Amino acid sequence: MKKVLIVIAIVVVVLGLVAWLGLPAGLRAAGLHPHYSGPKYQLPGGKALIITTSHDRLGEGGAKTGVFGSEMTAPYYEFITGGMKVDVASIKGGQIPIDPMSFKWFIKSEYDDRFLKDPEFQRKAAQSLKIDDIDFTTYDIIYLAGGWGAAYDLGTSEVLGRKISEAYRAGKIIGGVCHGPLGLLLAKDEKGAHLVKGRHLTAVTDKQVEELGITMTPQHPERDLRAAGALFEGETAFRDMFANHSVVDGRLVTGQNQNAGSEVANKMMMTAKGGPR
């Protein structure tokens, strides 16, 4: 009997170890954080501004949230690799809240691992610039990171809307992924019309919001962007967190969720170089 119990214990441990080691690979195989195999672009000497949320809770006293890690880290390193200088800002400035779930061992990306070993990037995230103090027109690229926190402040910030409007009118490339495109809602184009009206773009889908059960946020990207007149696009999967899609419409470049960060960054650099629009 004792030998049987030992064998059962060993089997349980082995199965647990296999599950532990296999879960990240299984999620990648399902579509989470796909390896970007498209064209890589360079913009040597260019400047990119990454903007994140400053909101750190789901609802009143709810679970911790913030920017979704890879939606900040993947574009940052793609811009750096592309020869760009990258600044990091947030709605309120200072410490950027990072959703702790996004750094869980089975979810975090290779870009997140790099961030966790990068004191300079960590300093930028701890001492982020306040958007009020920045001239957006001095940058070539303005990128809006997502995460659940962005559903509370990016789409309602009049400062962000005004500064994105100024940057767009100055010919800059504007983009974002997941909840990040909510930051376009208060922006206007050269004629004073809502920037998203009649424009093809993507962001996190209503289906993904419902599947993850986080419906308490005040804004939902697909719903609110459609209501503002955007021509919303999206891909679907058995769970939309495993889907991936990006859209280039003129100088607007958007990605559906956390899977599109590196792709959107490269397409923004492509657009800045005068590539397909």
The reply to whether 126 falls in a domain is: yes
What average pLDDT does this structure show over 220-247?
97
What average pLDDT does this structure show over 260-270?
98
- Please check the confidence at residue 277 and state whether its pLDDT lies above 60: no
Report pLDDT for 18: 40
- Please check the confidence at residue 252 and state whether its pLDDT lies above 70: yes
Report pLDDT for 273: 87
Report pLDDT for 12: 44
The reply to whether 24 falls in a domain is: no
Report pLDDT for 17: 42
- Please check the confidence at residue 122 and state whether its pLDDT lies above 90: yes
d(CA 144, CA 142): 7
- Please check the confidence at residue 7 and state whether its pLDDT lies above 50: no
What average pLDDT does this structure show over 69-96?
98
What average pLDDT does this structure show over 111-123?
98
User: Could you tell me which residues come within 8 angstroms of residue 253 by beta carbon, excluding any fewer than 6 positions away?
Assistant: 173, 174, 175, 246, 247, 264, 267, 268, 271
CA–CA distance from 107 to each of 112, 220, 229 (Å)? 10, 23, 34
The reply to whether 11 falls in a domain is: no
The CATH number of whichever domain residue 74 belongs to comes to 3.40.50.880
Phi, psi dihedral angles at 226 (to 5 degrees): -60, -45
- Please check the confidence at residue 190 and state whether its pLDDT lies above 60: yes
The reply to whether 184 falls in a domain is: yes
For residues 204 and 237, the answer to whether their CB atoms sit within 8 Å is: no
What average pLDDT does this structure show over 255-265?
98
The reply to whether 182 falls in a domain is: yes
The reply to whether 12 falls in a domain is: no
What is the span of the domain harbouring residue 150? 46-272
Q: Based on the structure, what is the number of domains in the chain? A: 1
The reply to whether 213 falls in a domain is: yes
The reply to whether 32 falls in a domain is: no
Strands (E), the chain: 47-52, 85-90, 129-130, 141-144, 173-177, 200-202, 231-233, 246-249, 252-255
- Please check the confidence at residue 217 and state whether its pLDDT lies above 50: yes
* Largest interatomic CA distance in the chain: 81
